[in-house]
């Protein structure tokens, strides 16, 4: 069993490991932690999405079944399926990837055996014929039969996430090896930073924590599973403005990047002030990426209740770490595939993923045809969707595989 002596949290880690100068002065990178301050990073060349991903596919989700209708949510992708879920009290919905047909709901809402009131993470395991779901609030991990949606098993966990009521476990299942690697936020008196166990709950290896977070810290973990054989963990907060990206691979927890975006606040404090930074991190095979935007509070008057407040975001250059060289800079990402505009892309399970409402796709689709760098087959697919879609229809999903 390999034990690491680093803290799982960004401030302690950044003090313990080698740093890369935030002014861009490179040292020979040995794969250790890189620490940056956003406003001191050099501006690099723009990145074109077409350099990262291949031909997109367009999937109009089933509108014939009322149960199929979605309103946003997290998207996960496998070879034959698309799954959509939300942390809110909504069901996990499974669709056929080739046709967009609604197949079934997975599990049920409730507090009984195998039920959930919120989902923190999920994985479609086609090899094992299952959908795996981690629940919010109770920190259970369930598996469901992919062909029926019925509960198969409640995974016995080697550790419980005590003190972690609002962030379930993130995980990756290896159905061939019959193992699952699990990570959670290690609050006081809680689980290790990560561990691997078999399906009976026996620990195969673990990475102990050397630090902990206050129970009331508003932290979440992002996991995108874009790197084969690895569990990526991106610590995310809306308050500390200093978070860390890790990868768990070959039984090691490897911190890649910690960044400071603005002034730090208390662990349990939220800030939506005008001009605050928002961030969305993910890890790719060759890059660690943090989408950056700024908040803007917008006042508008309406006839009913006077003044309403909404929040808009202004996309900024992203933080890009080249995992091959250790070079880090601010770089603008351009969606040259569809719009030629600046973008904050989302990647899941090895795909660029976009989720558009029918109304938005009706608005944006003609622009894709006019400005997009698309094949004739992709243009035909967009045109066919536009001919048949109405504003009350289900969402349209766009997928483009990582190169």
End-to-end CA distance of the chain: give it in Å, rounded.
35
Cβ contacts of 158 within 8 Å, gap of 6 or more:
195, 197, 201, 202, 203
CA 232 to chain centre: 10
Residue 168 has a pLDDT of 76
Q: Return the SS3 of 290.
A: strand
Q: How far is CA 356 from CA 34, 274, 365, 399, in A?
A: 35, 27, 10, 12
pLDDT in tens, 98-122: 999 999 999 999 988 889 988 989 9
Cβ contacts of 249 within 8 Å, gap of 6 or more:
227, 229, 230, 231
Residue 382 phi/psi, 5-degree rounding, is -60, -45
Residue 247 has a pLDDT of 94
Count Cβ atoms below 10 Å from residue 105 Cβ, excluding itself.
Answer: 16
Asked whether 264 and 214 are in contact (CB, 8 A), the reply is no
In our burial notation (b when 16+ CB lie closer than 10 A, e otherwise), range 246-258 reads bbbeeeebbbbbb
Asked whether 349 and 75 are in contact (CB, 8 A), the reply is no
Which DSSP category does 340 fall into? S
Residue 40 phi/psi, 5-degree rounding, is -110, 0
Question: Which of 403, 356, 367 lies closest to 100 in space, CA to CA?
Answer: 356
What is the block-wise mean pLDDT of the chain (403 residues), using blocks of 10 residues? 35 33 44 89 96 97 95 94 90 97 96 89 96 88 97 92 67 95 78 92 91 68 93 78 84 91 66 75 95 78 62 89 95 96 96 97 97 95 97 97 96
Q: Show the CA angle centred on residue 44, arms to residues 41 and 46, nearest 5°.
A: 135
pTM of structure:
0.87
Q: How far is CA 184 from CA 15, 193, 315, in A?
A: 22, 6, 29
Strands 108-109 and 115-116: parallel
Residue 257 has a pLDDT of 93
Cβ contacts of 370 within 8 Å, gap of 6 or more:
none
Question: H/E element holding 299?
Answer: strand 287-302
Residue 9 has a pLDDT of 40
- Strand order of the β-sheet with 347-348 is 57-60, 396-401, 351-356, 347-348
Cβ contacts of 307 within 8 Å, gap of 6 or more:
299, 300, 301
């Amino acid at each position: 069993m390999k034990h690491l002596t680093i803290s799982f949290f960004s401030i302690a880690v950044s003090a313990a490991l080698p740093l890369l100068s935030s002014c861009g002065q490179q040292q020979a990178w040995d794969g250790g932690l890189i620490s940056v301050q956003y406003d001191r990073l050099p501006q690099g060349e723009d990145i074109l999405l077409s350099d990262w991903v291949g031909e997109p596919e367009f999937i109009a989700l089933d509108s014939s079944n009322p149960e199929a209708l979605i309103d946003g949510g997290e998207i996960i992708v496998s070879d034959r399926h698309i799954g959509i879920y939300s942390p809110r009290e909504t069901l996990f919905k499974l669709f056929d990837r080739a046709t967009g047909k609604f197949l079934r709901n997975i599990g049920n809402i409730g507090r009984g055996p195998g039920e959930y009131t919120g989902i923190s993470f999920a994985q479609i395991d086609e090899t094992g014929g299952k959908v795996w779901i981690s629940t919010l609030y109770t920190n259970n991990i369930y598996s469901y039969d992919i062909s029926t949606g019925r509960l198969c098993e409640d995974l016995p966990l080697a550790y419980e996430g005590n003190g972690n009521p609002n962030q379930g476990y993130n995980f990756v299942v290896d159905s061939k090896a019959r193992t699952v690697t699990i990570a959670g936020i290690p609050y006081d008196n809680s689980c290790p930073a990560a561990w691997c166990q078999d399906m009976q709950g026996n620990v195969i290896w673990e990475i102990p924590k050397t630090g902990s977070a206050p129970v009331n810290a508003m932290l979440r973990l992002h996991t995108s599973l874009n790197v084969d054989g690895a569990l990526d963990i991106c610590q995310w907060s809306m308050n500390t403005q200093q978070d860390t990206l890790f990868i768990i691979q070959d039984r090691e927890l490897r911190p890649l990047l910690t960044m400071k975006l603005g002034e730090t606040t208390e662990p349990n404090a939220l800030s939506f002030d005008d001009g605050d930074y928002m961030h969305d991190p993910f890890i790719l095979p060759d890059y660690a990426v943090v989408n950056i935007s700024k908040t803007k509070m917008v006042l508008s008057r309406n006839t009913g209740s006077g003044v309403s407040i909404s929040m808009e975001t202004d996309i900024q250059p992203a933080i890009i770490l080249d995992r091959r060289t250790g070079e880090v800079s601010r770089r603008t990402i351009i969606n040259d595939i569809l719009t030629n505009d600046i973008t904050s892309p989302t990647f899941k399970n090895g795909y660029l993923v976009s989720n558009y409402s029918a109304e938005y796709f009706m608005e944006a689709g003609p622009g894709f045809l006019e400005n997009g760098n698309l094949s004739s087959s992709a243009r035909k697919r967009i045109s066919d969707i536009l001919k048949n879609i109405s504003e009350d229809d289900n969402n349209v999903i766009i997928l483009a595989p990582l190169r």
